[in-house]
Structure 1
Amino acid sequence: MPKKPAQHWTQSLFDSVYALYETANEYRTAHRAAEVACTTVDFVRRVTHEGRIGLECPSTARRASTRSPHGRALTVLHRLYGTVESETQGHYEEAALLYASGAAWAVRAVQRGERPPHVVFRVDDHGDPAPHSLDIPGLDTWVDGPALDAAYTTLRRCMDAAEYGEDLAGRDYVSDHEAGEMHRALGEARSMADAAFAYGLLAQRAVSFSLITARRARETELALARAAAQTDQPTQ
């Protein structure tokens, strides 16, 4: 089987960023599905069938009782779906931040004249990748620069709200006013995953923009190589 030719760094770097997009989108889709599942067992929206079943315990220590099987099913599923929703939310947020910061890292690397074949993350004490800085300077002349700046501002606001809310939640005592501020901040922080994903989409486009010069140089290099190969071929 012939060996697959190595990718040019511009392509492998873009593929690396795109893989981060696919990862975040998988968790985004899963989280949306979990949210929908939660709504299907929402007690506010569902009518629980009032039919009951009898329960007899062989032990004399417990008296016979009745139970609503439908209500119990909704309770179990509400707890189950809630757990899945919470976990997928966490994974989605983590993946979206890696996607956004990874794309931002790629742009800054290209701006510095580097040629990384893929996005590189440092790992934490658990061996998990840690997000990079999210800012992308030097794109004032790019047509999507204003949209990128606006998306960054939205994401930064969500991150600041999360930090503020978590700080208040970790205190031994909070006043009524602070409790209200904590819930407001944590509520705003729940939009962090979507904000990071939106910023990542624009940052990914910024990666393509930053690679234009390198890709054109590669196309020229390939064209010259093809022309040289044709010149070297013997005439019939």
Structure 2
Amino acid sequence: MPEKTTHWTESLFDSVYALYETATEYRTAVRAAGVTASTVDFDRRVTHEGQITLAGRTNAWGHDSTRTPHAQALSVLHRLYSTVESETQGHYEEAALLYASGAAWAIRAVQRGEQPPRVVFQVDDHGEPGPHATEIPGLDTYADGPALDAAYNALLRCAQAAEYGEELGDREPVSDHEAGEMHRAWAEASGMAEAAYAYGLAAQRALNFVLVEPRRAREREIALARAAARTDQTTP
């Protein structure tokens, strides 16, 4: 039995939706990692003061060294959890940018009259996909256009802040004023993942809008084909 063929409008939307699910997975993981890291925050925990002696290790006074094992465990765990949180945040930002730019790419492709069955990404030297441009022109009649533009501008501000912070960081030496500017830029750039995710959601809704007419055209084709089939069956 032949496999059912999915129309390009549906497979394209599924492709974008898969990017949404990916970004959401990492977003949830970042939050979970942050909660886990907070469980070993020294500002929120009371460590047990009990100590152990480390035979064979001496301190500055020539006595056996001691250690507070509970405090050390919290320190080790905090370092491990913080590393996981940081790395997961990096994956989330990458996934969110792929989601946002993939949805934007899909919209632009449909606007050009193309019929891509999936979002296409170029890969880097390691075979990993890189994000597309995120701008979406030509949606003047879209009711949620202002919200889409606002989400895009928020993402653009984060991207510009990241570039500015990187530029300041590459300067040598960095003045006190520039250091302050750099920290402010990095603070704004830290919202990149959330801004990209929000823009991805807005762009995904806009993709549904630009797919309305191709989907209607598909429905008309199906209706005409069914009408022709009924005619053939009734013709003696």
Asked if the contact 2:159/2:192 (under 8 Å) is kept, the reply is: yes
3-state secondary structure, aligned to 1:55:
strand
3-state secondary structure, aligned to 1:57:
strand
Aligned Cα root-mean-square deviation (Å): 1.8
The aligned counterpart of 2:37 is: 38
Percent identity of paired positions between Structure 1 and Structure 2: 72
Asked if the contact 1:168/1:182 (under 8 Å) is kept, the reply is: yes
The aligned counterpart of 1:99 is: 99
Q: Which runs of 4+ in 1 moved over 3 A?
A: none
Distance 1:58 1:140 in 2: 73
Distance 2:2 2:228 in 1: 24
| Between 12-21 and 226-235, the greater mean CA deviation after superposition | 226-235
The aligned counterpart of 1:158 is: 158
The aligned counterpart of 1:6 is: 5
The aligned counterpart of 2:180 is: 180
CA-to-aligned-CA distance 1:72-112 (integer Å, 9 cap, x gap)? 11100110011101101110000100100000000011011
- Normalised to the residue count of structure 1, the TM-score between the two structures is 0.94
Note the C-alpha offset of 1:234.
5.8
The aligned counterpart of 2:117 is: 117
Asked if the contact 1:155/1:199 (under 8 Å) is kept, the reply is: yes
The aligned counterpart of 2:205 is: 205
- Tell me which amino acid in the other structure corresponds to 2:52: I
3-state secondary structure, aligned to 1:56:
strand
Note the C-alpha offset of 1:232.
2.5
CA-to-aligned-CA distance 1:162-191 (integer Å, 9 cap, x gap)? 111111122221011111111111111110
- Tell me which amino acid in the other structure corresponds to 2:226: R
Within a 5 Å distance, the mapping from 1:47-126 to structure 2 comes to 47-57=46-56, 63-126=63-126
- Tell me which amino acid in the other structure corresponds to 1:187: A
Distance 2:63 2:214 in 1: 79
Distance 1:120 1:98 in 2: 11
Note the C-alpha offset of 1:58.
8.0
Question: Which stretches in structure 1 are left out of the alignment for 5+ residues?
Answer: none
- Tell me which amino acid in the other structure corresponds to 2:186: L
Asked if the contact 2:57/2:65 (under 8 Å) is kept, the reply is: no
Distance 2:194 2:2 in 1: 40
